[in-house]
Amino acid sequence: MIEREFFFKRLKSIISLTVLLFLLSHAYAQELKLNDLEYFETQGVNVLVYNNLFTGGFNDEKNAGIELIHHGVRTAQGGAVRLSNTPEQWDLVPEIPTRKVDRASKSIESTLRYKDYDFDSRVMVTAKGSGFEISVYLDKPIPKELEGSAGFNLEFLPSQYWGKAYLADGRYNRFPRYVVGNSVARPNNEKPKQFKGYKTYDDRGTGKFIDPLPLEKGRTFVLAPDEPSRLVKITSQDADLMLFDGRVLAQNGWFVVRSILPSGKTGKVLTWTVEPNAIKGWVREPNIGFSQVGYIPKQQKVAVIELDKKDKPLATASLYRIGNDGGASEVFSGKIISWGDYYKYHYVKFDFTSVTTPGIYYIQYGNFKTNDFLIENNVYDKITDATSDIWIPIHMNHMFVNEAYRVWHGEPFKEGYLQAPPNTDHFDLHAQGPTTDTKYKALEPIPGLNVGGFFDAGDFDIETGANISVVQNFVQTWEYFKPLRDQTFVDQKQRYVDLHRPDGTPDVLQFIEHGTLNLVAQAEIVGHMTQTLSNAVLDNYHHLGDAASLTDGLPYNPDLGPYERAKDGRSSGVKDDMWAFTSRNPRLDLYAATMFAAASRALKGYNDDLSARALVQSKRLLKEATDLLAAKPEDNSPWGASANVGTNLQLYRATGEKQYLDKFQELLWPALDRNVNSTLLTALNAVPHMDAAFKEKLRPYVVKYADYIKGLEKENPYGVPIVLGNWAGSGAILNFGTTICFASQYFPDVVAPGEAFKATNWLFGCHPYHNYSLVATVGATRPKAVFYGNNRADFSFIPGNVAPGILFRKPDHFENYDDWPFLWGQNEGTIAGNTNYLIFGSAFKNLVR
């Protein structure tokens, strides 16, 4: 007991000294400056003020508002007037109609508007020495219905703070590793203000809505005094600060510091002073980008080193080889070549291509040593195995999926799907139009849809567009590369899947069958392709865990009371049935026609009945979709043009009919003229089935693409297309790499095969922010450890998952959290993306061979 008391006294003394040193050092800290990119910065601290806005789609994506990038990591975000203590993903978020930068006063002012409540506020952020002041202004008092709900929030990333200390008015405490805290039930199950507009939020019983209580309250908070790189002091003279743990309501919640806005007041109603610690002389450690998978001896080997702009590049780097006795020896030393600045950092390159001896190596750059990697001829042989053996079968819907002693999920959605009612908006950006576009009435069961198909991603819906791409990807993999790998047992009659258990049939054929079963059912039963087969209520949609437990597996019976089960056990009073959103989209039908034509070829001789049904639906949907589109304004988008081109190509290959060949030729060349990058892969897929004249006519477009590849070398230090949107760019990298593989196969004199290694280098670790492989378990030394999947609450991954990757945050920050899985734009693998990886990986391995 005495030792324990001594420990805590000692800890208190250390923290007190740290806080004192922090406060003293602030008198000499470098001031925050308003830079040309319109955010505040000093070395080690960036403060973004509505450079990134809240979206109207998924609302709170934890990527917007006032944000703090603290010693290279975005540790705080969401700074805004909010209507909840701990905002969830679908909470109302403010529009930001105005943003004004005043360099004279070193301030940025933005208007925040909640149109649902006709409520406006203004938030001004002003640099004050080494910190900044946040002031909230109201021109009109808070609406009565928002009194006590409207407050100012700033959210802090739990993974960067758990286990660390904090002080509230001098009282010591620690951020919990796992959510612990108190909450209260809302009286009469009152729906919170931030859920306005979501009529289908919850249908799971009374007492669902709760309010977390604050962990602490005070006027001065000091966060992480025991970790200087995360130390932040927040003070308020005119309102209490409260600390909440948002994980009480949702696993993706953050720690929230919040003050309630006063009622009945106008003018400046709230002021915070925020002082992030900047470590004196801090320079970000170099990020040495290289392929965690390794290299084959003959390929080009270039490490890209990302440096703080205040870091002076070294003259050389070295390569060390680890001997069989465990000792390491330097085998190569080479010059560092500067590439230049790219957004926030400076980039240099280290070329060690001349090292070709197989072995175990690591890179030494100054005092920084990488983990080891291999140079060996077989390093790429297994890059797709985890994806095809584990990730893909786990995402097979309407099946019981087993792996050794583990059940990944039971058979989901035995009760099937109901017709979504007209004029229904869906929280995953779908909508049912004014009619059902089917013979089924609102909420009427649509029989036969609960077969086949794949979960989209981290949720359990069937996104029809994604599933169409998936089957097309499987067919291309099968037809071009004929992978005979058989490591999965699939029994459609039993609705049972067992991993690592061969059954005598190539897995890819079974995957084609499984995807086609659902899509053909949609075409035959609904009459066209649905938008999605998804959840009726939001409470179901954000379900984590076993997909089979998302619903009770029984059709809803309106004659039963809530949660009552029929005496015969065949129905229940639970409104948890999935819905089919059936508004017709002829473009989607056109894509389905493309896929059905391809699937009919692949399934012939394996499942002849399904093959024939797929071909019938391909021809029907092509005709109907073409007629429907003819009645609409011309769609010249590359997306639409490529769909029509591809459909006719696939139908020509399936039937040999000249009408489809002629139409393909008619549509292809204008599509290539509009956008060669998006259409070239379709044209390359046609080469084996066309004559020599076609190939020569295609050559100038391949030359144009080769010029595009060369231009990327000047555009960024990695020489790949880097996406700067709110979904990271692994998909673009995969398409880029696949196009190179096929272009180099048919036009090796134009596109060198070695260009494809740029794609694998990026995927396996040579990219900004960190050097982890973006494919789960691929890159044995250091693949990413956490992903956004349906097991994300466990901070885990599903082997073979491909992350979207390195997400760009405006105006100049790249990131990929590997300690926080809940940002889908950088961590969520999708069924379409992962099967796209299967094509690329197969094409790449073929190229290497």
Please provide the average confidence, as pLDDT, over all residues in the chain: 92
Domain annotation covers residue 690? no
Given its phi and psi angles, is residue 589 left (phi above 0), alpha (psi -120 to 50 degrees) or beta?
alpha
CATH of the domain at 346: 2.60.40.10
- Same structural domain, 551 and 402: yes
- Buried-state track 553-566, b at ≥16 Cβ within 10 A, e below 16: bbbbeeebeeeebe
- Same structural domain, 154 and 262: yes
Domain annotation covers residue 704? no
Domain annotation covers residue 646? no
- Same structural domain, 169 and 311: no
What's residue 26's pLDDT?
45
Question: How confident is the model over 776-819, as pLDDT tens digits?
Answer: 999 878 899 999 999 999 999 999 999 999 999 999 999 999 99
Chosen domain end from 276, 306, 341? 276
Residue 640: pLDDT over 70: no
Rounded to an integer, the average pLDDT of 399-405 is 98
Q: How far is residue 477's CA from residue 742's CA, in Å, rounded to a whole number? A: 13
- Same structural domain, 453 and 546: yes
Q: How far is residue 546's CA from residue 134's CA, in Å, rounded to a whole number? A: 44
- Same structural domain, 230 and 359: no
Helices and strands (DSSP H and E) totals, the chain: 17, 41
Chosen domain end from 276, 311, 343? 276
Q: How far is residue 307's CA from residue 312's CA, in Å, rounded to a whole number? A: 8
Give one DSSP letter per residue of 134-164, joined into a string.
Answer: EEEEESSPPPGGGTTT-EEEEEE-HHHHTT-
Instruction: List the catalytic residue out of 61, 415, 428, 828.
Output: 828
Q: Which of 45-54, 114-123, 277-286, 535-544 has the lowest mean pLDDT?
A: 535-544
What's residue 59's pLDDT?
85
pTM: 0.93
Structural domain count of the chain: 4
Rounded to an integer, the average pLDDT of 342-370 is 98
Residue 199: pLDDT over 50: no
Question: For the chain, what percent of residues have pLDDT higher than 90?
Answer: 86
Find where tokens 């760009």 sit: 808
Peptide bond into 811 cis (omega under 30): yes
Residue 420: pLDDT over 70: yes
Instruction: List the catalytic residue out of 169, 444, 635, 819.
Output: 819
Question: How confident is the model over 698-728, as pLDDT tens digits?
Answer: 999 999 999 999 999 999 999 999 999 989 9
Active site residue 819: yes
- Same structural domain, 449 and 371: no
Strand, helix or coil for residue 747 = coil
Residue 609: pLDDT over 70: yes
Neighbours of 681 (CB within 10 A): 21
Continuous H helices in 675-715: 676-686, 692-715
- Same structural domain, 33 and 174: yes
Phi then psi for residue 53, to 5 deg, are -100, 155
Domain annotation covers residue 711? no
Domain annotation covers residue 623? no
Give one DSSP letter per residue of 100-140, joined into a string.
Answer: EEETTTTEEEEEEEETTTTEEEEEEEEEETTEEEEEEEESS
Rounded to an integer, the average pLDDT of 466-488 is 97
Question: How confident is the model over 731-778, as pLDDT tens digits?
Answer: 999 999 999 999 999 999 999 999 999 999 999 999 999 999 999 999
- For residues 206 and 583, the model is more confident at 583
- Same structural domain, 359 and 409: no
Residue 1: pLDDT over 50: no
**Which amino acid type is present at position 110?**
S
Contacts of 51 (CB under 8 A, 6+ apart): 37, 38, 39, 67, 809, 810, 811
Chosen domain end from 248, 276, 304? 276
Q: How far is residue 736's CA from residue 608's CA, in Å, rounded to a whole number? A: 35
Domain annotation covers residue 652? no
Domain annotation covers residue 594? no
Strand, helix or coil for residue 347 = strand
Question: How confident is the model over 450-464, as pLDDT tens digits?
Answer: 999 999 998 999 999
Angle, helices 676-686/638-655, rounded to nearest 10 degrees: 0
Question: Strand (E) positions, 255-365?
Answer: 255-260, 267-276, 287-289, 302-307, 316-322, 328-342, 345-351, 359-365
- Same structural domain, 297 and 426: no
Give one DSSP letter per residue of 213-275, joined into a string.
Answer: PPSEEESEEEE-TT-GGG-EEEEESSS-EEEEEGGGT-TT--EEEEEEPPTT--EEEEEEEEE
Q: Is 38 exposed, middle or buried (0-12, 13-18, 19+ CB in 10 A)?
A: middle
What's residue 642's pLDDT?
53
Q: Which of 14-18, 206-210, 607-611 has the lowest mean pLDDT?
A: 14-18
Q: Is 497 exposed, middle or buried (0-12, 13-18, 19+ CB in 10 A)?
A: buried
Diameter of the chain measured on Cα atoms: 91
- Same structural domain, 212 and 68: yes
Give one DSSP letter per residue of 375-428, joined into a string.
Answer: E-TTTTTTTTHHIIIIIHHHTBTTSEEEETTEEEE----TT-EEEPPSSEE-TT
- For residues 633 and 665, the model is more confident at 665
Confidence bin at 29 (pLDDT 50/70/90):
low
Q: Which of 225-234, 262-271, 634-643 has the lowest mean pLDDT?
A: 634-643
For residue 845, what are the domain limits?
Answer: 716-849
Angle at 311 between CA 307 and CA 312, to 5 degrees: 110
Residue 15: pLDDT over 60: no
Confidence bin at 585 (pLDDT 50/70/90):
very high
Q: How far is residue 738's CA from residue 753's CA, in Å, rounded to a whole number? A: 11
What tokens were used for 598?
A: 């391809």
- Same structural domain, 42 and 145: yes
- Same structural domain, 366 and 428: no
Question: Strand (E) positions, 476-542?
Answer: 488-491, 496-499, 532-534
Domain annotation covers residue 615? no
Question: How confident is the model over 103-125, as pLDDT tens digits?
Answer: 999 999 999 999 999 999 999 99
CATH of the domain at 215: 2.70.98
Q: Which of 345, 417, 453 is nearest to 815 (CA)?
A: 345
